[in-house]
Structure 1
Amino acid sequence: MATKYNFLKPYTFKNGTTVKNRIVIPPMTEAAALENGAVSQDELKYFDIHTGGAGMFITPVLNVSNDGKGFEGEPSVANDKFMPGLIKLAHTMKQNGTKAIMQIFDAGRMSNSKILRGTQPVSASPVAALRPNAETPRELTEDEIEQIIEDFGQATRRAIQAGFDGIELHGANTYLMQQFFSPHSNRRNDKWGGSLENRMRFALEIIKRVQKSVDEYADDKFIVGYRISPEEIEEPGIRLDDTLKFIDVLADQPIDYLHISMGYAWRTSLNDKSDDEPIILKIKQTVNNRLPLISVGSIEKPADAEKVIDAGIDFAAIGRESIREPNWVQKVELGQEDSIHYQLSPTELDSLGINSAFLDFLNSMNADLHWVDKKEAKDNFDKEIGGVEGN
C-alpha cells in the first residue's frame, strides 16, 4: 500500500468514529430516483460501483418533506414508506469500511410548481431567486417553519434506522437553510429574520432538533455534518464577514464537521477582488480546530488532494473525478496512479453506472466531464439516447 500520502491516513472524530482515510465523495445529484422519490435500482448500481474506496461517501441530497423537493429524480426521506430502499442504499454504500452519509434538505424557492405538482414553492420571504423563470415563493408561516424543523428531525431518525453512519445538513447552494440566512431571500421582521442572529436561528434550531433524534435513536458515533456556501453575489446577499461569524457559532454546535461548498477549493472572495487569501484558509482560522473541515472543488489528482491536507484541512472531496474513476483511492493505495482515468469515454457509461437521467442532469449543469472525444460523445448520445437536453 502506498503510504506517501497523508490523505490515506485515518481520521477520528471527537465522538470516536474513525474513518479509514481523508478522501470524501461529496453529494452529487444523479437524478435517477423513481418519480415518487424511492431509491431506484439504477441508483443502487451506481453506488455499488463507486463506493468502497473513500473514507466517507455522501449521498445526493434527499428532501425531508414532499414540498421540499427541488428537482425530478430526487430521492426522498420524507416518509417511512421509503425505508426499504434507504436500507438497501445504506448497505450498498457501506462497503469496505466506507462511511455512508445521507445529505438532507428542503429546496425552498429553488423549486417550482411544476416539480411540486401544482404547489407553490415556499421560502423565508416572497422573493424570487435571481435566475431565469424563477417563481415567487410563498412566505412560510411560523407553524410551517416549526414543521420543517420537525421534518429534519424525522429524516434524521429514518437515516439512523436505515443504517447510515451520519447525515449532512445541506445549508449551501441557495437552498432553504441558506435562504433563511441570506438577506436577499429573508426579508422577515420576526424572530426568523432581520438581524444576523435571527437569520442564523433556522439552521441552529434544525441542528438542535437533529441532535434530539441522534440522542434518541443513534449510538454515540453517529456523524452530523453541515454544508455551507460562503458567499452570494446577490445584492443584498451573504457576504464573507457574516459567514465567518456564522461559522464561529456553528463550530460550537453539536455537529461533527463543516463542508465548504465551492467550485474551486482555493477560491478567493467573489465580492472583494482585492482579497487574495483563499476562503478555506479564512474558515480554517475561524474554526481554530474546533471542527474538521471538508474542502471540495476541482480536486482531481492525488497531488491536488494532498495539497488540501498539507494546508491543514482535514478532508479532501473528489467529485466529478470520482464519476470518471470509481477506483481512485484503491489505485493510489496500490501505487497505480498512472492507471487513474481522468477522462471519460461514452463507451464506459454503463460500466460506471451512469444512466441517461444522470447524464442529462450533468449536461444541464454544464459539468465538464473531460470527454475523451467530444464529437464521439455527442454522436453516441444522439445514437443511444436520442440526444441530451438540459432540464
Structure 2
Amino acid sequence: MKQLTDKVTFPNGATLSSRLVQPPMLTNSGDHGFVTQDTLDYYGARSNSAAMVIVEYTSVSENGGPSRSWADDREQLAIYDDKFIPQMTKLATTLKQDGNKALLQIVHSGREANYLPKLGKKVYAPSAIDFSFLDYPVYELSDAQIRQIIKDFGAATLRAIKCGFDGVEIHGANHYLIQEFFSKWSNKRTDHWGGSLAKRMNFAKEVTAEVMRVVKAEAPKDFIVGYRISPEEIHDEIGYTWHESTQLIQALTTEFDLDYIHLSLPAYNEKPADSDKTFAELFQPVLNGKKEIIVGNVMNEADAKDALNYTDLVAVGRASIIDPLFAHKIVTGHGDDIITKISPEQVKLAKMTSGLINLFSDMKMEPHLPGRESIAILHKSGSLDASVIHNGTKSDLKDIEEGKL
C-alpha cells in the first residue's frame, strides 16, 4: 500500500523524499513583482513543509499581471525580465536549504490581471468580452501578441533554470490565460487559437512545447515540468467539462515529456455531476505514465492518508500555511503534533506574510483557516478598522501597520 512517507520518482528521474507537496498559493508579498524579505521569510519557514514546494503563480509577461494585488508592494511575483533573477535565486536557495525540491509556477493571468487597470494599463484575453464581474474592459490579443506570450513562457523557464529551481509548473487552471483559451465560454475566436476543441487546445500545447524546448536545451535532465488544470469550468454557461479537459491532458501527456499533472480542486475527493468516480480517478487513464497531484481540503494527516487512495502525490495548502512543518512532522512520525488551527502566536511562528494575514483574518474569506476568529484583530483593508483600534493595544497597532504581525 502507498504511504505518505514513500519516495516518489518522476519520469525524468527526479526523486521526492515523500508524497507530500505544497501547492502554489498567492502570498501577495511582491514589491513591483520582486521577491521581498516577507517572501523569503515565508518560504524559508516552509523548506520542510513538503518534499516539493511549488512557488506561487509568477508572471511570465509584463502584461500578464499583477493579479489580485492591492498595492505596488503587495503584488504577485514576476519573472518576465532578468532583473528578477537575483531575488528569485535567493528564493530558490532558501527553499532548497533542507534538500527538498523547489518549483516555480509560471502564468499569464489574462483577464484576471486586475491590478493593471489601476496602473493605467490594458488587460488582455483571448476575446474582447464584457465580463459582468469585471470593472474594467478586456482587449483581444493579436496573433503576434499570443506568439510573444508563448515565447515569454520559454524565457521565464530559462530564468527559473538560472535561478536554481528544480522545475516549473505551467499554470493552466483557475481562469488564467491558458484556461481562458481552452474555455469555449471565454474564447470566441475563429482563428488558429479558437473555435473547435482542437483549436482551443492549441495555446496550451504551444506553451508546453516552448517550455519543453527550453528545458531540453538548457536544464538538467531531472528538471521537473508539471501542468496544472482545473478539471471543469461550469458557470451559467459551460466553458468545458472533464470530458474535454481529459482530452487536453491526453494530448499533453502523449506529446510531451511532462512529469506530472496537477488537478486544481476544492476538495481532493471531488466528483463531477455525471460520474461516481472522483476527478482524480477519471484523469488517471490519460496520464500516460505521468504522476498525478491532487489538492483540496487536506487539513491533517488523516486527510492526507485518505487522499492518497486516489492519487500519487498529495498537495497540502491551507494546512501548510498554518503549520510550515506539516510534512516534516509526518515523515518523522509526529503527525499528531501538526497544528491545525491558526492563532496570533502561530501567525508569527508560521511567518505569514502581511498579505496572507490580511486575507485570512477577513471573517468573510472562504475557504478560511480554522481558528480565524482569533486573528480577526489583525485584519485591515488599507487602514485599520474600528474593531482593531478598539481592541488592539498600541504595540499591536504599530506591529500591524509595519507588517510585523
Match status 1:42 vs 2:64: no
The one-letter amino acid paired with 2:341 is Q
Query: What is the SS of the residue equivalent to 1:9?
Result: coil
Q: Report the equivalent of 2:377.
A: 379
Query: What is the SS of the residue equivalent to 2:201?
Result: helix
The one-letter amino acid paired with 1:322 is S
- Quote the offset at 1:53 in angstroms: 4.2
Match status 1:331 vs 2:334: no
Q: Report the equivalent of 2:383.
A: none
List per-residue Cα deviations over 1:192-247 (Å, max 9, x = no partner). 00011100000110111111211221111111110000111221411121111111
Match status 1:15 vs 2:18: no
Query: What is the SS of the residue equivalent to 1:94?
Result: helix
Q: Report the equivalent of 2:306.
A: 307
Q: 1:43 to 1:262 in 2, by over 3 A?
A: same
- Quote the offset at 1:52 in angstroms: 2.2
42-51 or 274-283, which moves further after superposition? 274-283
Q: 1:109–1:135: 8 Å Cα contact kept in structure 2?
A: no
Q: 1:22–1:314: 8 Å Cα contact kept in structure 2?
A: yes
Paired with 1:365 and 1:249, the residues of 2 have a C-alpha distance of 37
Q: 2:259–2:290: 8 Å Cα contact kept in structure 1?
A: yes
How many residue pairs match? The answer is: 376
- Cα RMSD over matched residues? 2.0
- Quote the offset at 1:116 in angstroms: 5.9
Q: Report the equivalent of 1:28.
A: 25
Match status 1:190 vs 2:165: no
Q: Report the equivalent of 1:164.
A: 165
Match status 1:259 vs 2:262: yes
Q: 1:52–1:94: 8 Å Cα contact kept in structure 2?
A: no
Q: Report the equivalent of 2:345.
A: 347
297-306 or 58-67, which moves further after superposition? 297-306
Paired with 1:255 and 1:14, the residues of 2 have a C-alpha distance of 8
List per-residue Cα deviations over 1:20-68 (Å, max 9, x = no partner). 111000001000111x111000110011111124110000110011110
- Quote the offset at 1:285 in angstroms: 2.8
Q: 1:65–1:148: 8 Å Cα contact kept in structure 2?
A: yes
Query: What is the SS of the residue equivalent to 2:239?
Result: coil
- Quote the offset at 1:115 in angstroms: 5.0
Q: Report the equivalent of 2:240.
A: 238
Q: 1:157 to 1:343 in 2, by over 3 A?
A: same
Query: What is the SS of the residue equivalent to 1:61?
Result: strand
Structure 1 residue runs of 5 or longer lacking an equivalent are none
134-143 or 362-371, which moves further after superposition? 362-371
Query: What is the SS of the residue equivalent to 1:310?
Result: coil
Structure 2 counterparts to residues 278-317 of structure 1, below 5 A: 278-287=278-287, 289-311=288-310, 313-317=311-315
Q: 2:158–2:218: 8 Å Cα contact kept in structure 1?
A: yes
- Quote the offset at 1:130 in angstroms: 5.1
Q: 1:356–1:385: 8 Å Cα contact kept in structure 2?
A: no
- Quote the offset at 1:347 in angstroms: 2.5
List per-residue Cα deviations over 1:292-342 (Å, max 9, x = no partner). 00010011222222222233x110000000011111122222322222111
Paired with 1:211 and 1:201, the residues of 2 have a C-alpha distance of 15
Paired with 1:360 and 1:77, the residues of 2 have a C-alpha distance of 25
Q: Report the equivalent of 1:179.
A: 180
Query: What is the SS of the residue equivalent to 1:66?
Result: coil
- Please give the TM-score of this superposition, normalised by the length of structure 2: 0.88
Structure 2 residue runs of 5 or longer lacking an equivalent are 70-74, 380-387
Query: What is the SS of the residue equivalent to 1:50?
Result: coil
Query: What is the SS of the residue equivalent to 1:185?
Result: coil
Paired with 1:276 and 1:88, the residues of 2 have a C-alpha distance of 45
Paired with 1:135 and 1:16, the residues of 2 have a C-alpha distance of 45
Q: 1:58–1:100: 8 Å Cα contact kept in structure 2?
A: yes
Match status 1:96 vs 2:98: yes
- Quote the offset at 1:134 in angstroms: 4.2
- Please give the TM-score of this superposition, normalised by the length of structure 1: 0.91
Q: 2:117–2:136: 8 Å Cα contact kept in structure 1?
A: no
- Quote the offset at 1:377 in angstroms: 2.2
Q: Report the equivalent of 1:64.
A: 60
Q: Report the equivalent of 1:143.
A: 144
